[in-house]
Structure 1
């Protein structure tokens, strides 16, 4: 199989298995196997398809960029990844969208920090991270990989809305009414306060730390130097 065909195939497997096991197949399989056994199967499939995708990506030949990438675009992409990192770190605490025992309790609180920005900060963090990579690595292979991650993150978020509404009922619907799917949509429409979107310390400082470490590792592992490290050192 040609490298590009292999990449497309593994992307389809990665996305397809996630969506099928997260939604239409989850209830019947979990009911038959038990929740714990299902989670084991889900994890094995997710890891296996991810490894296949990474291997296919590594096997792609060098491709010429579609546009030139200068310092301005690098700065914008770096700031986008920083924002994505803050969203991700903020999503780890008090996130009603996660399958946590206290999800219903968290959904009763006010939307503050990253949750005032979007009710799916983790998924939008992944999507923005992928988009930033497409900006600075403008090749067909990267476009396919980034599009795969963006599609899975955003379609997965929409699926979470449906599933959480079914599982949590009015608790989730009231939470969704106090938040927005698209980042900053409530603020831009005048329905939310910009002050509420200030990230909490664990999101802000954790996001900065993750951004610095990840962009440093990008260059240290032999990939393109990224983030602030392009201009420091």
Structure 2
């Protein structure tokens, strides 16, 4: 468990360090593309380490997982899948390097009508669903770290984009919400997100070695 805690702390901490205080000197030394390459490699390596540590961590059960918790978790995963797909189907100024899309839109479109950070919220909903449906301390550390990074990173991203882009971002942010709102994202992200959710459920036992427990309550 100690290894998992250390790996997740480094994974989360490295994101904030490289995204903020270390970004300028790293870009100066490596260039923008070089910085993104190192950032991606470091993040991927630490995530793989954390995932391996999670797989080997002892399962300390924190609560009993009731039927309704599993169902609620699957609902959250469906919503997360729709938000994730929707985050790339329409212009999304919140994505890295996508601030140029601000000039192409007058109003938020698709999933950006729900929240200006649909991809980050998809990770957060994934984390909440998995913590609830597993109920283990190791999942709380692993998924909780990813969920915290997603939402704290989105907040920090708001401040950074407001500082770097200025009025264009401020005007866009005023038309959107950080917190998800009940809005219709369009038929395409709903259909595509539902397909993604179905694929994840079907592939889960083959990729991760455990079922999502959905069939236990349907069959």
TM-score by length of 2: 0.92
Correspondence 1:131 to 2:128? yes
The root-mean-square deviation of aligned C-alpha atoms, in Å, is: 1.8
Whether 1:71 and 2:86 are equivalent positions in the alignment is no
**CA 1:40–1:112 in 2, change beyond 3 Å: closer, same or farther?**
closer
Could you tell me which of 17, 22, 44 is aligned with 2:19?
22
In the aligned structure 2, how far is the partner of 1:213 from the partner of 1:59? 26
Contact 1:80 1:129 in 2 (8 A): yes
CA distance in 2, matches of 1:222, 1:15: 23
From the two aligned structures, give the one with the greater helix fraction.
Answer: 2
**Pick from 80, 86, 95: which aligns with 1:84?**
80
Q: Does the CA contact (< 8 Å) of 2:113 and 2:185 recur in 1?
A: no
The corresponding residue for 1:8 is 5
Shift in alpha-carbon separation, 1:221–1:39, aligned structure 2, 3 A: closer
TM-score (ref. length: structure 1):
0.87
**2:156 corresponding residue in structure 1:** 159
Q: 2:147 aligns with which of 140, 147, 150?
A: 150
Give yes or no for contact 2:59–2:138 (8 Å, CA) kept in 1.
no
1:104–1:168: 8 Å Cα contact kept in structure 2? Answer: no
| SS of residue in 2 equivalent to 1:157 | helix
Equivalent in the alignment of 1:212:
198
What's the offset of the Cα at 1:31?
Answer: 1.8
1:102 aligns with: 100
Is this contact kept in 1: 2:59–2:137, CA < 8 A? no
In the alignment, structure 2 segments of 5+ residues that lack a partner are none
- Any stretches of 5+ residues in structure 1 without a counterpart? 185-193
Counterpart-to-counterpart distance in 2, 1:24 and 1:212: 40
How far the C-alpha of 1:232 sits from its partner, in A, is 5.3
Size of the alignment, in residue pairs?
Answer: 217
